[in-house]
Amino acid sequence: MGKLETTLPKIVHEALQDEDYVTRDLVNVLLNQIYHGRNHARTSVAKTLDDEIEKLTDAGKIDIRNF
Amino acid sequence: MELKQITITNFLSYFDENEITFSPTTTIFIGQNKSGKSKLFDAINFVLYGRIFLTDEGENGEWITNEKEISAFILNNHRRNVALKAGDAVVNSSVELVIDNATSKLTITRTFNYKLSGNKYDFAFSDFSVTEINSLNGDLLSSDIGDAAKDKLRMYFPESIKNYFLFQGEAASKIMKLQKGGNFSLAVKEIARLGIFDEAKELASYYASNVNNRITRKTNKSAKQKEEQENLSAKIEQFENKVHEYAEKRDKAERNVSDYSAKLDDLNKEQETYKEFEENLTQRKQLEQNLRKVEQDLKLAENEQKSTIAEESIFYKVSKKIDSFKDFYSQLEAKGEVPPSIPASEIRKALKYCQCTICGTDLSEGTEARKFAEARLPKCDTDRLGDYLRDLNSTMSNISEDIKRVPENLQKLIEKKHELDERQRSLKKQKDEAMQMLSQIQGDDSDSKEKKDNIERLKHSVRNYTDLLDKAKSDKSANDALYNDYYRQLQNLKKQLNTMIIDDDDIDESDRIRHFYADKLEAAMSKINTLANKTAYEEVQQKSNEYYKEMTKENSALSGDIKIDLGTSEIYTVDEQGSRIRNINQGDRISIQLAVIAGILTVAQDQFEQQYPFVTDAPVSALGGDNKLSTIQTMINAFEQSIIIIKDDTSSKNKTNDELRKLIAESKNVGLAYELSMSEAEETSNQFTVVKKIKG
């Protein structure tokens, strides 16, 4: 509903143009969770982000040698 | 979003049912003071937000939202009077608003119900409903009442924008607080839906601190665990040493037990070699002891025999003498030669008192008794001998009783002597036998001393080793118990350590990754939020300036650019050099407000893809001259649908008013216009607003 859906990627894109893939992905996951998700509870969001980071790690998107 | 129609019934100055249709473009209401202009504005506020704007005599005012307070004002006075006269039990005050929302049509109704109580009407209850029907086919989409209806309505008319599309000149000035930003920033935030970024920023921040806390907890836990682990390991080491120590002690004691047992076995075997010798020695010793005993007994028997016989012989001799004395005494007594026993002192006393002190016999002078007494006086010592003799005789009688038994005793003694003789013989025989046996027993040969020494030495060793063996056994048992105790404790500690190792969840790679990206996410969301706010403010600022420029075209008095301070949300104007314009008059303020409101509503429309009508009451009352018309013109042009309520100054023959009527008549954007006035009535309380269409 509304223009936000089109405005949002523009703002996010502009703010995140220098960010890495993982951060961009996490921002999108978080915003989608708020925008579309039913459960905005903090613990639920934290769990979603935890899972996403794990997923990205498993997918090799994070260079674990840096950690 | 288009306001289609409003029906005001018995509400404030509106009597009965007043159905007013709005133009999809601009609808202008004009009216003189107290003709119901502000009551119309109140009707829209009442139906949408349940509030009315109450002004006092000094034209200051405030919004009232409390139902009970509102109920005291809104029932139309004329209706009240008519109803009281008719005795109606119930009377209502209501407003119904119809809104076209592209695909659906909303009908919003708010009703206050009053019931008759004596000669007045008391507020009873309120009703609120929202009905939505499909604009194309007329199907009922939803019908809600109460809180559900309010929720439904807020989907279309959020609280955040009520002061912007429902723009009350005086009230808005206060709310906007132009110089301080007021609720403006909140409105922009909500209208531009920046709340989503605020929430995202807050959640990202929460996630970062959550991850951080988890890691801190883990670190603390890990440090604590490590400390516990180290303590436990130290304790385990200590217990391992103890276990080792007691195992060694136990083993050593066990070896001692074995060594001492072996040694004792050897000693016992060695002792065995001396067994015969030792037995002989023992036997010999026993025999020697027996012999000594026999000899002793023999000696005792001989002594006993001798003494008894001697004693009895003495007795025998004494008895003969006693018998002789007794015979002699008997003879003396028979002859009366044993003197009587009267003491001289008694005789003298009797003679002195002439009467015997013993038997009372008269001893007067010349009596036979006195003569006898006087004759006895010189013989008193002889009389004492008589006493001795009597005593001796008595004693001898007793002794003689014993003496009488002497022959019998002697007979017994003779018998005993025979026994003793027999025993002596027996003992002598035993002695001879023992002597004979002794002579036969070996062991008193030349090497017996050496053998005896050896035996003593062996016995001593056996005692020593037995003691050592007992101690070694005791040590073994004690050390074994300690070993088991420490071993059991050690196993428990190890188990504890193993469990601790399993539970240990030290910071790992995934924690570090989460920590790193949670921080990055927080920073990114903060950046996005700032950017989104900036974008929204900039959009509002840009749109506001567009409208403001339009106004300045019409009015040369207005100049500069509108600026919005993002830090303080303050709104002001700057000149061409960018310097802040300080001296702005009331007219400029209203214009700037309208431009910003137009900007906000435009952004809101862009954002929600929903058009908001602009409803304003007396926005230009403080303006004069050309400012008023140019501002109205701006409103007509800026908003897709506007409902403008303006004071009619016709009576004052003001030129501007003529210009206003001219504008209404000529402007294509003004679709409908109404003139509001009060009905004629003798009593003010029976007057009511009359709505007259003047255009459309």
Answer whether B691's CB lies under 8 Å from B27's CB: no
Which pLDDT score, from 0 to 100, does residue A5 have? 53
Task: Please tell me which of the candidates A15, A19, A40 has its beta carbon nearest to residue B199.
Answer: A40
Instruction: Determine if residue B674 is left, alpha or beta; phi over 0 gives left, psi from -120 to 50 gives alpha, anything else beta.
Output: beta
Tell me the whole-structure pTM to 2 decimals: 0.51
How far is it, in rounded angstroms, from Cα B472 to Cα B256?
6
Nearest C-alpha in B relative to A30: B200
Task: For A36, name the nearest residue in chain B, comparing CA atoms only.
Answer: B196
Spell out which residues of chain A touch residue B513, defining contact as CB-CB under 8 Å: 53, 57, 62, 64, 67
Query: Measured in whole angstroms, how far is the alpha carbon of residue A14 from the centre of its chain?
Result: 15
B-proximal residues of A, 4-63, CB under 8 Å = 4, 7-8, 11-12, 14-16, 19-20, 22-24, 26-27, 30-31, 34-35, 40, 42, 45-46, 49-50, 53-54, 57, 62
Q: Which two tokens stand for residue B600?
A: 């906000």
Q: How far apart are CA B199 and CA B532, in angstroms?
A: 12
Report how far residue B503's alpha carbon sits from residue B218's, in angstroms, rounded to the nearest whole number: 11
Which of B:581-620 have CB within 8 Å of A? 606-610
* Contact criterion met (CB < 8 Å) for A49 and B520: no
- State residue B625's pLDDT score: 59
Q: CB neighbours of B520 closer than 8 A, spacing ≥ 6?
A: A19, A20, A22, A23, A26
Q: What residue type is B353 in one-letter code?
A: Y
3-class secondary-structure state, position A55: helix
Concatenating the DSSP letter of every residue in B292-319 gives HHHHHHHHHHHHHHHHHHHHHHHHHHHH
Q: What is the C-alpha R_g of chain A?
A: 13
Q: Do B509 and A16 make contact, defined as CB atoms within 8 angstroms?
A: no
Mention every residue, 6+ apart, whose C-beta is less than 8 A from residue B496: B232
Query: A55 contacts in B (CB within 8 Å)?
Result: none
How many CA atoms, within 13 angstroms, populate the side-chain half-sphere of residue B657?
Answer: 13
Q: Can you tell me the distance from the alpha carbon of B679 to that of B677, in angstroms, rounded to the nearest whole number?
A: 7
User: CA distances (Å), B74 to each of B43, B44, B474, B501, in order?
Assistant: 10, 13, 107, 76
Cα B511 to Cα A22, A52, B211: the distances in Å are 15, 13, 8
Q: Which residues of B touch A38 (CB under 8 A)?
A: none
Please state, in angstroms and rounded to a whole number, the distance separating the CA atoms of residues B552 and B630.
9
Pairing of strands B26-31, B642-647: parallel
Kindly give the confidence (pLDDT) of every residue in chain A, 67 residues in length, as a single tens digit, with 9 standing for 90 and above. Answer: 345 555 666 777 888 888 899 999 999 899 888 876 656 688 889 999 999 999 999 998 888 777 7
Measured between beta carbons, the chain A residues lying within 8 angstroms of B207 are 30, 42, 45-46, 49
Residue with tokens 């036979």: B368
Across the A:B interface, residue pairs with CB atoms under 8 Å apart total 94
Residue B254 neighbours by CB distance under 10 Å: 16
- Chain A positions in Cβ-Cβ contact with residue B199 (cut-off 8 Å): 34, 40
Taking CA atoms, B266 is separated from B210, B254, B269, B467, in Å, by 81, 18, 5, 16
Q: Which residues of chain B have pLDDT under 50?
A: 171-182, 502-504
Q: What is the pLDDT of residue B88?
A: 95
Instruction: Using an 8 Å CB-CB cutoff, list chain A residues near B525.
Output: 27, 30
B residues 22..81 contacting A (CB < 8 A): none
Beta bridge pairs of residue B105: B100, B133
**Ramachandran angles phi, psi of B362, nearest 5°:** -70, 130
Unique residue bearing structure tokens 């701006």: B634
B380 lies within 8 A of chain A by CB:
no
Residues of A in contact with B538 (CB under 8 A): none
- Characterize the bridge pairing of strands B614-617 and B642-647: parallel
User: What are the tokens at A31?
Assistant: 């915003």
Nearest CA in chain B to A50: B514
In which element (H, E) is residue B474 found?
A: helix B448-503
Residue A2: per-residue pLDDT: 43
The DSSP-derived string for B219-280 is HHHHHHHHHHHHHHHHHHHHHHHHHHHHHHHHHHHHHHHHHHHHHHHHHHHHHHHTHHHHHH
Tell me how long chain B is.
Answer: 696
Residue in A27, A34, A42 closest to B524 by CB: A27
- Element housing B636 (H / E): helix B626-638
What are the beta bridge partners of residue B580? B574
Please report, in angstroms and rounded to a whole number, the separation of the first and last CA atoms in chain A.
Answer: 41
Strand segments, DSSP code E, in B135-241 are 140-145, 166-168
CA gap B640, B604 in Å, rounded: 13
Are A50 and B609 in contact (CB < 8 Å)? no
**Whether B342 contacts chain A with CB within 8 A:** no
Residues of B in contact with A42 (CB under 8 A): 203, 206-207, 210
Closest residue in chain B to residue A6, using alpha carbons only: B607
pLDDT of residue B193: 64
CB contact under 8 A, A20 and B532: no
Nearest-by-Cβ selection for A2 from B207, B532, B609 = B609
Chain A closest-CA separation from residue B1 CA (Å):
14
Hey, are the CB atoms on A30 and B510 less than 8 Å from each other?
no
Distance from CA of A57 to the nearest CA of B (A): 8
Cβ atoms of residues B346 and B357 within 8 Å: yes
Q: Which 463-522 residues of chain B touch chain A by CB within 8 A? A: 509-510, 512-514, 516-518, 520-521
According to DSSP H, which parts of B336-447 are helical?
344-353, 368-376, 380-404, 406-440
Record: contact A7-B517, CB cut-off 8 A: no
Instruction: Report whether B616 contacts B645 (CB < 8 A).
Output: yes
Compute the nearest-CA separation of B532 from chain A (Å).
6
Chain A partners within 8 Å of B608 (Cβ): 1-3
Judge whether B26 and B110 are in contact, CB under 8 Å.
no
pLDDT the model gives residue B179: 39
Pair B368, B362: CB distance under 8 Å: no
Is A67's Cβ below 8 Å from some Cβ in B? yes
B513 vs A51: CA distance, rounded Å: 12
